Chain A
Amino acid sequence: KAGVTQTPRYLIKTRGQQVTLSCSPISGHRSVSWYQQTPGQGLQFLFEYFSETQRNKGNFPGRFSGRQFSNSRSEMNVSTLELGDSALYLCASSQGLAPPGETQYFGPGTRLLVL
């Protein structure tokens, strides 16, 4: 079974631009979560989607948004990019039926650099 895939793997943007990252979960998984990883703040939860609905949200500004499609693929968008948005963005999928002890499977991440 294919793992979680994320595209693109690397991205360079400039301040003020917006960016869209994509995540395809493991087949059959209906929950997709997004995390931001930075050297200073570590791994922080952004949001989780299940069956096209946002089920939980972390403490990030409204510039960070996401959505999930009927095939469970998810996108996250960051508008008006700031230098501090430079990070590794990780997507994780799970079946979503029995959280929170359910295992989340992570993709390789998208590394975003904001100049």
Chain B
Amino acid sequence: AQSVTQLDSQVPVFEEAPVELRCNYSSSVSVYLFWYVQYPNQGLQLLLKYLSGSTLVKGINGFEAEFNKSQTSFHLRKPSVHISDTAEYFCAVSYQGAQKLVFGQGTRLTINP
């Protein structure tokens, strides 16, 4: 069965520092990869997605992610974080033949001033 593992449940960083949120997936078929962000008391907002083509994907709010097929990873990065980036981040996959998203457990990003 396909699954998504987010390696860190919590990531604390200082403001203006770089951050990487790690995501690994398992799948025997081609996948489509997504990162969503959830702010407190809100739904999910798409940050970026990888469907095909260039393995480096740029998203909103200065985030980017790199698809690595050999390592089955899709890590999210931002070179300099802001207090407003405090939120929970979810990695998700979908794949041919399945009309659904499979989510990781989420990573809570906390920005300290």
- Please give the residue numbers on chain A whose beta carbons come within 8 Å of chain B beta carbons, in ascending order: 4, 31, 33, 35, 42-45, 48, 50, 55-56, 58, 90, 92, 99-101, 103-109
Question: Could you tell me the distance between the alpha carbons of A106 and B103 in the complex, rounded to whole angstroms?
Answer: 14
Question: In the assembly, what is the distance between CA of A31 and CA of B94, in Å?
Answer: 15
Asked if A106 and B43 make an inter-chain contact with CB atoms under 8 angstroms apart, the answer reads: yes
CB contacts (< 8 Å) of A58 on chain B: these are 100
Contact of A90 with B49 at beta-carbon distance under 8 Å, contacts A42-B105, A42-B106 already known = no
Nearest chain A residue, comparing its CB with the CB of B90: A43
Chain B interface, >50% SS class: strand
Interchain residue pairs A-B with the least CB separation, the first 9: A100-B94, A106-B43, A43-B103, A101-B32, A56-B99, A45-B100, A106-B44, A101-B51, A108-B43
Partner of A99, one of B42, B99, B104: B99
By beta carbon, the residue of chain A nearest B96 is A100
CB-nearest residue of chain A to B104:
A42
Interface range on chain B: under 10, 10 to 19, 20 to 34, or 35 or more? 20 to 34
B38-53 CB contacts (< 8 Å) to partner A: 41-46, 49, 51
Residue of chain A at shortest CB distance from B44: A106
Interface string of B51-75 (1 = CB under 8 A from A): 1000000000000000000000000
Distance A40 CA – B42 CA, assembled complex (angstroms): 19
> A4 with B43: in contact, given A42-B106, A100-B94 (CB under 8 Å)?
yes
A33–B101 CA distance with the chains assembled, in angstroms: 9
- B43 touching A45, Cβ below 8 Å: no
